[in-house]
A and B are shown apart, each in its own frame.
Chain A
Amino acid sequence: MKRKEKTILSLVILSVFLAATQANAMEGEEVLARVDAVLSAPTDGTSTATMTLVDKSGKTKERRLQMWTRYYKDKDDWSLVKFVTPAEVRDLGFLSLADDKMYLYLPAFDRVRRIASHARKESFAGSDLSNDDLSTGKYTDHFTAKITEETDQEYVLELTRKPGSNRIYPKSVVWVNKENFTIPRMKMFDKGEKLWKTFEGEYEQIQGYWTMTNVTMTDVKKDHRTVMKMEDIQFDVGLEDKIFTQRYLKRKTKGD
């Protein structure tokens, strides 16, 4: 009898533990879903960006970009990025659509090339951002989230890549602002669970949307960082679907 009671007690404790674990996991997923919701809150947006690459000796290189994004609540966002400078990459374009469809426009050959998702591992134009960092999938589609720490201001989530996902970071630690569900800091780890990159983001509220205006991505292994400053940000401008096509990817960039 005593043994039976013990067994029942163990089962109760196990169920409570499992329930608690599940509740915690749900909470992590919920936080991540809120992050996704904040990131995809506008209907669409345009911006320009200045990307400064800084090597370990402090030497810098600068790239200027134009960006167009169509946000979706229930599927991957669409984005189009075109280079303005430097001269050798002017008009180079990157189009990212749902279902991992990605295209690169190579102005030197006047050619649009389909790129497979292995290209996510590649650096974006020599920066510390990979093509994966610029891709537009939802966090919740690719990662499971667990809250590992909670303060008055922030949740700290541990993200683990879901089986079958082609995202390049197997594990990340993400700090989420409790007030607005933005990500001020992130640490990304490699397959060997060594720190690979760190991310720092600054946000402003523009047209009522919490918007990333400054990003610093540091490749810890290379001791190299990329600072990206977003400007001329406009939301809900009514971008047509046709912008996110190969036809527009090939268009020459306007302005300097």
Chain B
Amino acid sequence: MTRQPAFRLFVLVCGIFLVLPLRSTRAEVDVRLGGVVKLYTSIFTQSGPGGGFLPHEAGDFALTRAALWLKLNGYASDNVSFRGRVDFIYTHDHDFDRLSDLESVSGFSSEAQDLDVYFREASFKIMDLFVPGLDLIVGRQRVRWGTSDEYNVIDNLNPVDYANLYSFDPDFFVDHIPMDGFTLEYQFPVDFDLKIQGVYYLYFRPSPLPAGFEAFFASSQGSRLDALTAPIGLPPGVSSVHIGDFPDYNVESGVFGIRLSGNLLNFDVGLSYLRGYQTLPLPERIVADLTGEVPTIDGFYGYPRLDVVGFDLAGEIYSVGIWAEVGVYLPGSIRDTTLTVRTLLGTEEESFPLLDRPYTKYTVGFDYTFGVGEGLYWNTQFNHGFYDEFSYTTEADEALGVDQAGFLGKLEDYYLTFLEYSFMSETLRVKLEFLLEVADYSDFSRNTTWVLGPEIEFIPFDGTSIRISYLTFNGSDATKLGAFSDSDLVYVLMKAFF
């Protein structure tokens, strides 16, 4: 976070946004400035030692975030459009260590300028480039693949923002971060449903990670080191985490995807291929050294190549909307992970493939509106595999113990369903969401967590909304969401649109 430069950028961007409409009038382009002003705050309703969060008491704020999103879009000509979005975000950090943080010569202390700038989108689109039906999109963009309503298994072009995964801010939950590159789309003239899309992102971008991630890796390695040192009476050692190989920054190392879509028997279908990367760090080398005075363990993590072949469909059967996706994951060019243990007796080295090749993630879902009042909407989806999950090999599990439920864990099953109903011409909307996470069917009660999320949204006037939601987690620590079992929370999200 760069506080002072961010503040200057904010002033600069506001200035540009104010000046642009004046310039646009002269150039006779169609420009529109819009955006959102937002306040999100979540409050724990349970006390607990933490789990996925820090230790907290009931009534403590979990996260408070104020934001201004500025969106600019328009047309430079009939065939050329552009769009941009910059978010200015303040996330309250209640703790500060030094009084000097509050001091300022300029009159604006870092505490007053605590601003994050998120450059979300800046792209332009040329329609009918060279031939009718051919569109080119250039710049910072988000390309979404898949037909699933909630969580896709083939939407891997843009990395997931895991830093926001546990904020439970619905605007950023499983958000995909933008990438810089090109998208070329062609709509065939003989059949407008038939399209081919090619995407090339200039470089690899890793997923942002939640706070404490490196410490989590270090702690996990430390436990492994303890298992080696304790039996032979060595003292506790030092655990370090390093980035190993990082993808090169050249043309060959970009992210590439291609998708062909069309309509078959009144179903929208798509076939896709992605040549990208794992966007979460995976272990390449673990080196335990027990020869020195202080034992050490060093983990080297990398972002290996990943190829995904995807299939998706959406349509309806007897008025019921259905969708499905299958992603065949091919962890490509992955080097065998090595585990090296150096002792005074010599060096033992073991190599093993980390991930199965191939492995599959899939999802299927349906929705239906019951003819009750203004329409009671029901949506249900099943997912095998979440974004951060992998299919580890038996050898990797034996060596590293990685085939567990949890963040960066094994493939799990998720059953998600919700009911939604609007009253008073959509002035009031209520939603009840239920999620069941199953890590292992063989010992069901110890390997499941359920989450219940009642929600109410009130729209008192056009251009504003107030949403209140309660999230309760109940289940086993052995699951990913079970770690939040002592962290039920309620959040309020207020927005004004302009």
Contact = CB atoms under 8 A, between A and B. Distances in A.
B374 interface: yes
Contacts of A255: 30
B437 interface: no
A201 B463 CA distance: 29
Interface in A216-256: 222, 224, 241-242, 244-245, 247, 251-252, 254-256
B424 A55 contact: yes
A133 interface: no
Contacts of A87: 34, 462-463, 497-498
B462 A117 contact: no
Interface SS of chain B: strand
B462 A61 contact: yes
Contact of B74 (A62, A125, A168, A252): A252
A114 B192 contact: no
Contacts of B49: none
Contacts of A241: 192
A101 B315 CA distance: 9
B351 interface: no
Contacts of B34: 87, 90
Interface residues of A, number: 44
A179 interface: no
A97 B463 CA distance: 30
A160 B495 CA distance: 45
B375 A123 contact: yes
A70 B144 CA distance: 29
Interface string A37-60: 000000000000000010100000
Contacts of A114: 147, 268, 314-315, 321, 323
Interface string A175-193: 0000000000000000100
Contacts of A251: 81
B320 A116 contact: yes
B270 to A, nearest CB: 11
A12 interface: no
Interface string B362-394: 000001111100110100000000000000000
Given A101-B266, A255-B30, A118 B367 contact: yes
A61 B497 CA distance: 15
A125 B32 CA distance: 22
Interface size class of B (residues with CB under 8 A): 35 or more
Contacts of B461: 61
Interface in B79-95: 81, 83
Interface in A54-111: 55, 61-62, 85-88, 90, 99-101, 109-111
Contacts of A110: 142, 144
A116 B379 CA distance: 12
B316 A100 contact: yes
A202 interface: no
A171 to B, nearest CB: 14
A87 B144 CA distance: 23
Contacts of B319: 116-118, 166
A111 B144 contact: yes
A245 B133 CA distance: 11
B463 A86 contact: yes
B240 interface: no
Contacts of A166: 319
Contacts of B142: 110
A99 B320 contact: no
A166 to B, nearest CB: 6
A72 B301 CA distance: 61
A88 B463 CA distance: 6
B465 interface: yes
A19 to B, nearest CB: 37
B83 A88 contact: no
Contacts of B110: none
Nearest to A247: B187
Contacts of B320: 116, 118
Interface in A144-181: 166, 168
Contacts of B263: 101
B28 interface: no
Contact of A123 (B314, B374, B465): B374
Contacts of A88: 462-463, 465, 495, 497
Contacts of B268: 114
A85 B370 CA distance: 28
Given A114-B268, A114-B314, A252-B81, A125 B463 contact: no
Interface in B413-446: 422, 424-427
Contacts of B32: 252, 256
Contacts of A128: 425
Interface string B140-169: 001010010100000000000000000000
B73 interface: yes
A125 B426 contact: yes
A61 B459 CA distance: 11
B75 interface: yes
B164 to A, nearest CB: 16
Interface of A: 53, 55, 61-62, 85-88, 90, 99-101, 109-111, 113-119, 121-123, 125-128, 166, 168, 191, 222, 224, 241-242, 244-245, 247, 251-252, 254-256
13 contacts: A87-B34, A87-B463, A87-B497, A88-B465, A101-B263, A109-B144, A117-B316, A121-B371, A122-B369, A123-B425, A126-B422, A252-B81, A254-B30
Query: Which are the 6 A-B pairs with shortest beta-carbon distances?
Result: A116-B321, A126-B426, A116-B316, A86-B462, A88-B497, A87-B497
